[in-house]
Copies of this chain bind each other. A is one copy, B any other.
Amino acid sequence: MSKPLILVTNDDGIVAPGIRALVEVAAQFGEVIVVAPDSPQSGKGHAISIHDPLRLRHVKVFDGIEAWECSGTPVDCVKLAKHVVLKGRKIDLCVSGINHGSNSSINIIYSGTMSAAMEASVEGIDSIGFSLCDFSAEADFSAAKFWATKIIEKTLQSPFQQGKLINVNIPRLPLEEIKGVKVCRQCDGSWVETFVEGRDPSGSPYYWLSGKFVNKDKGEDTDEWALKNGYISIVPSMHDLTDYKSMGWMENQFKQLEQQ
């Protein structure tokens, strides 16, 4: 059997320590191709570049690993990887990260890391986003690497069906304090923003986004609960955003509309 083809990307940029950790993990299992942003792209969500041309440069960043940096978003990287770099070759697995900072709960919708993985899953590719709950550039990725190795190995042995996506978050703990993995649902939470207001050198006002995550969910089956309790959280995630539970109510709501 030929070695699996693994696409590695991220949103912190191709020189971030987190993607280096993930490349080292992935290289144990197959042929690794890296296509990642040439600059930090945190918070870019599922943005794509429609109005601007993209640049793609072959770079030597990882020993013995083919790597490309791209001027676009994380989702652009996945599209370019598939169509331009790999010219349609079958990708067996896409891994994104390891993100510097949590992508649990509502963070999934803002996250370039998770959006890149989701883009691959839309294409029917098994996809895993990995995030370490530590924003520091000096974060210790050793426990994250240990568990990413186990999760990737298992996924290659027993692939998901039809391009599933999982959101893996790793608590900021030494390896021996991590209790294991928990399959969870996405916690209900949101950010309470505060805008830092200031004046630029010419005296014009600006607003700089900041904020604090607030957990609104007391459930013990969520990713936030797992992380707080020493577990790695795994949330099976998807791009079908239909709120099936609300369909009946909505049908009633808008049926009346027709009768007006």
Q: Which residue of B lies closest to A82 (CB)?
A: B193
Report A7 CB to chain B, min CB distance, Å: 15
Report A157 CB to chain B, min CB distance, Å: 9
Which of A25-33, A90-98, A241-249 contacts the other chain? A241-249
Q: How many of these chains are in the complex? A: 2
The listed residue (B42, B161, B195) touching A50 by CB distance below 8 A is B42
Per-residue CB contact flags for chain A residues 172-191 toward chain B (1 = under 8 Å, else 0) read: 00000000110101101010
The yes or no answer to A154 lying at the interface (CB within 8 A) is yes
A234 / chain B contacts, CB cutoff of 8 Å: 250, 254
Report A48 CB to chain B, min CB distance, Å: 5
> When A48-B43, A246-B164 are in contact, do A260 and B150 touch as well, CB less than 8 Å?
yes
Please state if A80 and B207 are interface contacts (CB–CB under 8 Å): yes
> When A239-B106, A242-B236 are in contact, do A183 and B47 touch as well, CB less than 8 Å?
no
Q: Number of residues in A with C-beta < 8 Å to the partner?
A: 83
Please state if B257 and A236 are interface contacts (CB–CB under 8 Å): no
The yes or no answer to A109 lying at the interface (CB within 8 A) is yes
Considering the chains assembled together, what is the distance between the CA atoms of A250 and B43 in angstroms?
27
Please state if A54 and B150 are interface contacts (CB–CB under 8 Å): no
Please state if B243 and A207 are interface contacts (CB–CB under 8 Å): no
Please state if A242 and B46 are interface contacts (CB–CB under 8 Å): no
The listed residue (B166, B206, B258) touching A55 by CB distance below 8 A is B206
Please state if B242 and A50 are interface contacts (CB–CB under 8 Å): no
The yes or no answer to A238 lying at the interface (CB within 8 A) is yes
The listed residue (B197, B238, B250) touching A166 by CB distance below 8 A is B250
The yes or no answer to A240 lying at the interface (CB within 8 A) is yes
The yes or no answer to A49 lying at the interface (CB within 8 A) is yes
> When A45-B46, A50-B42, A207-B53 are in contact, do A185 and B244 touch as well, CB less than 8 Å?
yes
Considering the chains assembled together, what is the distance between the CA atoms of A193 and B50 in angstroms?
12
Please state if B83 and A257 are interface contacts (CB–CB under 8 Å): no
